[in-house]
């Protein structure tokens, strides 16, 4: 097992009715900025629950954080934080609202150009404390210290991370997710699945506990995903899916093992250029990364084939093919197409993405750092 530091102080309040306990988690003297997206929380009653819980607090509001949150929008919220002396941020929504709020938290206490936090990975030395009320199980943002932000003007989608933007607490009430359209559930299943895959389908380092935890999440997603799609108000299925998504990216399964993240890096380019939802980009890219890197991932792909999909017959090559095929079929079965053509992406996009990654110095992706721009081109060619 590799050396690691594991730190996760995020307090999770999980289950029905937990929004009512919010007030106890935020100092009564706090000046809170409640951040949210395009209005889903007003339609499904979550906004009313949050406002009722915070009746005794001072609450300002900032709505309109879009999916794949824009730097341009978030900077407006930073101005509100500064003007109103906000000292607590409460993100209510999906991963985009949570991520955007993490950026607001860091940017409000950052002395230079906030874009440097993303483009230059400028160190964060302070951040406004934040909490989240999560309404979309997918990203794991509710229990980690990373965020992804898009500068709309240049179509660049970049991430940053800092323990200082880990939420103080996150409320996960599965009932808040009952209003999600099936498309977002499918996206969330694929996102959580791919988070696990990027920390599990690498090479063995003698970490059977992390492997089995990863396999447990994958198998639970395979079991519960279709159930929660079929019946959006099945509380048990939704709760299990929600906890899977959180556990997939809170650092636990990734401690002490190699990470890939090539699929996410390439996927972000597809979102930035074509506006494809995050989870959908992963469904396009992951099967092709596994296919291209099948030799260096051989041992883990065979383990995945057997333990997750029960594939034991055939040659090694046949079992690997079958496992990749089952992965693609699973994504399709939850309503997420897996080919560039399904989204109308022209092949001219492939050299453009290769060039953009090259210009940014993202030339050594994957757990071995051997996915160079030419290999990214091959991955995308396999996704046509």
Annotate each residue in 99-138 with x if it binds ligand NZQ (CB under 6 A) or - if it does not, as one string.
x-----------------------------------xx-x
Q: How far is the CB of 9 from ligand NZQ (least distance, A)?
A: 16
Q: What residue is closest to Zn ion based on CB?
A: 191
Q: Binding ligand NZQ by CB under 6 A: which of 34, 118, 148, 291? A: 148
- By CB under 6 A, residue 225 contacts ligand NZQ: no
Q: Single out the residue of 142, 173, 191, 260 in contact with Zn ion (rule: CB under 5 A).
A: 191
Cβ closer to Zn ion: 68 or 162? 68
d(CA 258, CA 373): 21
The residues, ordered by sequence, that sit 6+ positions from 89 with a Cβ below 8 Å of its Cβ are: 32, 33, 35, 81, 101, 104, 105, 128, 129, 130, 131
Nearest-angstrom CA–CA distance, 359 and 362: 8
Q: How far is the CB of 119 from ligand NZQ (least distance, A)?
A: 16
Does 39 contact ligand NZQ by CB under 6 A?
A: yes
User: DSSP class of residue 15?
Assistant: S
Residue closer to Zn ion by CB (options 57, 268) is 268
To ligand NZQ, the closest distance from the beta carbon of 189 in angstroms equals: 11
Alpha carbon distance 304, 200 (integer Å): 9
Q: Answer with the entry of ligand NZQ, Zn ion, none that 67 interacts with (C-beta below 5 to 8 A by kind).
A: ligand NZQ
Total residues at the site for ligand NZQ (CB under 6 A)?
34
**Residue 260 within binding range of Zn ion, rule CB under 5 A:** no
> What does the DSSP assignment read for 231-272?
-TT-HHHHHHHHHHHHHHTSSTTTTTS----HHHHHHHHHHH
Of 140, 181, 189, nearest in space to 336 by CA: 189
User: Cα–Cα distance between 332 and 315 in angstroms, integer?
Assistant: 26
Candidate list 18, 187, 228, 383; residue touching ligand NZQ; CB under 6 A = 187
Residue 81 near residue 106, CB atoms below 8 Å: no
Give the footprint of ligand NZQ on this chain (CB under 6 A): 37-41, 44, 67-68, 93-97, 99, 135-136, 138-141, 144, 146-148, 176-177, 179-180, 184, 187, 191, 249, 264, 278
């Amino acid at each position: 097992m590799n050396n690691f530091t594991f730190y996760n102080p995020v307090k999770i309040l999980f289950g029905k009715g937990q929004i009512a306990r919010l007030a106890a988690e935020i100092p009564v003297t706090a000046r809170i900025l409640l951040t949210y997206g395009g209005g889903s929380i007003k339609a499904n009653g979550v906004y009313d629950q949050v406002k009722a819980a915070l009746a005794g607090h001072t609450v300002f509001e900032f709505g309109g954080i879009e999916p794949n949150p824009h730097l341009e929008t978030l900077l407006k919220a930073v101005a509100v934080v500064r003007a109103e002396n906000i000292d607590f941020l409460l993100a209510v929504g999906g991963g985009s609202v949570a991520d955007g709020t993490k950026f607001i938290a860091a940017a409000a206490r950052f002395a230079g150009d906030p874009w440097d936090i993303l483009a230059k990975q400028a160190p964060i030395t302070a951040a406004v404390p934040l909490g989240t009320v999560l309404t979309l199980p997918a990203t794991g943002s509710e229990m980690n210290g990373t965020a992804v932000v898009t500068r709309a003007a240049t179509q660049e989608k970049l991430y940053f991370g800092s323990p200082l933007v880990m939420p103080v607490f996150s409320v996960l009430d599965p009932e808040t997710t009952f209003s999600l359209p099936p498309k977002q559930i499918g996206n969330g299943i694929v996102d959580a699945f791919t988070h696990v895959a990027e920390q599990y389908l690498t090479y063995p380092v003698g970490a059977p506990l992390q492997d089995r935890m990863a396999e447990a999440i994958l198998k639970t997603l395979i079991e519960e995903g279709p159930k929660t799609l079929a019946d959006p108000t099945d509380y048990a299925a939704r709760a299990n899916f929600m906890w899977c998504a959180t556990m997939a990216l809170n650092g636990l399964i990734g401690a002490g093992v190699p990470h890939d993240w090539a699929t996410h890096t390439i996927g972000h380019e597809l979102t930035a250029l074509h506006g494809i939802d995050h989870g959908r980009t992963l469904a396009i890219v992951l099967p092709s990364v596994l296919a291209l890197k099948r030799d260096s991932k051989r041992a883990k792909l065979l383990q995945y084939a057997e333990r997750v999909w029960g594939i034991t017959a055939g040659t090694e090559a046949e079992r690997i093919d079958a496992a990749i095929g089952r992965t693609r079929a699973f994504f399709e079965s939850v309503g997420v197409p897996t080919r560039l053509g399904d989204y109308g992406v022209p092949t001219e996009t492939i050299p453009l993405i290769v060039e953009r990654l090259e210009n940014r110095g993202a030339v050594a992706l994957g757990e071995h750092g051997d996915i160079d721009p030419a290999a990214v081109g091959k991955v995308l060619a396999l996704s046509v």
